[in-house]
Amino acid sequence: MNYKISKVAASLSPSLTLAIDSKAKAMKAAGEDVVGFGAGEPDFDTPQHIKDACAKALAAGFTKYTPAAGIPELREAIAAKFQRENGLTYKPSQIIVSCGGKHSCYNVILATCEAGDEVIIPAPYWLSYPEMVKLAGAKPVILETTDKTEFKVTPAQLRAAITPNTRLFVLNSPSNPTGSVYTPDEIKALGDICVEKGVLIMSDEIYEHLTYDGAVVKSVASFSPAHKDHTIIVHGFAKAWSMTGWRLGFLAAPEPIAKAIDAVQSHSTSNPTSFAQKGGVAALTGPQDHLPLWLAEFAKRRTYAHQKLSSIPGITCVNAKGAFYLFPNISALGLKSTDFCAKLLEQEKVAAVPGIAFGADDYLRISYATSMANIEKGLDRLARFCAGLKK
Ligand SMILES: *Cc1c(COP(=O)(O)O)cnc(C)c1O
């Protein structure tokens, strides 16, 4: 049988981060001593009270369809979060709960972009953004950045990239894969341009709560009513509550966009899992005391990993202020990122994600969402590997 694959599906690259992660896990299952720096998820368990709320809902028979956009209780809790933490007033009708932050991003792009539209995406980017844009039939326009600007786009760069076809600008701070955090002034300058030019912003704020060194995170929506009218905030439970497997995310949007996304979602996934939503309510309304503990642990690992990476001849590394990633530059070592990571996994059994997956071939993504012992062991091996390359 000659299967016909649609042009759009055939044009996609499968997720390289998920591929590396599953290869490392398979090697581990086969008894090999693999150190994985590929994880895109916290290594902590979901806090107990969240699991309890979900289990209770399940036991009570909360197992049926809910409204496609989520249960009112959760949409209200999310609106209250934006009010409390961001000073942003949204009606529950402007909140859509989805099956993960990734799903929220996809819904936003599908509801706002079509053939002929351009979507501006700074690189290094979260690898799903350009693929989602392609799925919508629109065109990703990539803005290159390097470690020299801490992987941040400049206002001049953004302005020069905007055309009459620009529909959406994708902002992700703190960033996956670089961990970079834009300052409030930098965010405002980019937001100002989008307001002036009538470009929508998709602001992916899923790492909002994961910052270090006192970095301040401010949503682009919070600078003025006009900024808010131009912004769709994407967020979720995956990172700050360690709920990646729950598949639960959310967004806040101007009313007409929220309505369109509700329609898209009602014909694709329908509601996110009913009892998972009850866990989401507990996550937002319950105690947050897990977070300082996790942040202290992440901060310790980040400091160690940054110092160790910086000490390896041939590697330079920005000390990123957010998320749980570092993005070291390997360009002086003479291998492009795919070769580098393949050889590193083969020779030293260390899994890192090649920067090419994020549109930046001179770098690696190192996730420090793994134990300190693993980080020490893995970075020692990386240092030995790099020393071998230099000879
Ligand atoms: C993890 C992540 C998300 C959302 O992940 P879900 O598991 O779908 O909630 C969204 N954006 C970025 C940049 C991420 O790293």
Is 209 found in the same domain as 109? yes
Is 12 found in the same domain as 136? no
What range does the domain containing 251 cover? 64-285
Confidence of residue 23 (pLDDT cuts 50, 70, 90): confident
Q: Which residue has the higher pLDDT, 12 or 185?
A: 185
Say yes or no to pLDDT of 167 above 80: yes
Is 261 found in the same domain as 175? yes
pLDDT attached to residue 51? 98
CA distances from 353 to 22, 33, 327, 364 (A): 12, 18, 10, 6
Please give the average per-residue pLDDT across 235-255, as a whole number.
98
Is 256 found in the same domain as 303? no
Q: Name the closest-CA residue to atom 5, ligand 1.
A: 101
Q: How far is the CA of 206 from the centre of ligand 1 (A)?
A: 6
What angle do the packed helices 337-348 and 372-390 form, to 10 degrees?
Answer: 110
% of the chain beyond a pLDDT of 70 = 99
Q: Could you tell me if residue 378 is inside a domain?
A: yes
270's CB contacts (< 8 A; 6+ apart) are 65, 68
| CATH assignment at residue 143 | 3.40.640.10
Confidence of residue 350 (pLDDT cuts 50, 70, 90): very high
Is 296 found in the same domain as 257? no
Please give the average per-residue pLDDT across 136-163, as a whole number.
98
pTM of the shown model: 0.96
193's CB contacts (< 8 A; 6+ apart) are 155, 158, 159, 162, 199
Closest CA to 125 of 258, 8, 13: 13
Q: Could you tell me if residue 56 is inside a domain?
A: no
Is 295 found in the same domain as 257? no
Q: How far is the CA of 389 from the centre of ligand 1 (A)?
A: 34
User: Ligand 1: residues within 6 Å at CB?
Assistant: 40, 100-102, 126, 172, 176, 204, 206, 236, 238-239, 244, 249
Q: In 30-149, which ranges are continuous DSSP H helix?
A: 48-59, 72-86, 101-112, 128-135
CA distances from 332 to 180, 312, 316, 329, 349 (A): 22, 11, 9, 8, 22
CB 35 within 8 A of CB 350: yes
Q: How far is the CA of 318 from the centre of ligand 1 (A)?
A: 22
Phi first, then psi, for residue 302 (nearest 5°) are -65, -45
Confidence of residue 56 (pLDDT cuts 50, 70, 90): very high
pLDDT attached to residue 24? 82
Please give the average per-residue pLDDT across 83-110, as a whole number.
98
What angle do the packed helices 128-135 and 101-112 form, to 10 degrees?
Answer: 40
